[in-house]
Structure 1
Amino acid sequence: MARDQTTPMTDEDIEALREDIEALRQAVREDLAADFGGDSEDYRADKPIPDGGE
């Protein structure tokens, strides 16, 4: 559902959006782990990769 963009977002709206995004990120990590192996935590975008990315 599209948000009414004529009014500013409240702190509650922002917090709800953050929770929704985190739930989606978790679902994507779980799907990646199911498809490619490993643990879902291995697919965190905010965590450096052990080999330094090289």
Structure 2
Amino acid sequence: MSDEYVFDCPECSVEVGVDAGIKSRILDGGCVLCQAVVGPGAFSRPSSGDA
């Protein structure tokens, strides 16, 4: 099972689930929607309410 994160862009407010590879790409290249530069604080772990 890969690491999962929730990306929440501080500029355009897009919120999407991503894996570790996509997280790395967003940190390197910015938000995929608005290209805003983001840092690690834009990512969180998803809540585990589906148990």
TM above 0.5, yes or no, is no
Greater Cα radius of gyration, structure 1 or 2: 1
Query: TM-score, with normalisation over the residues of structure 1?
Result: 0.30
Q: Return the structure number with greater strand share.
A: 2
Work out which structure has the larger RCO, using CA pairs closer than 8 Å and 6 or more positions apart in sequence.
Answer: 2
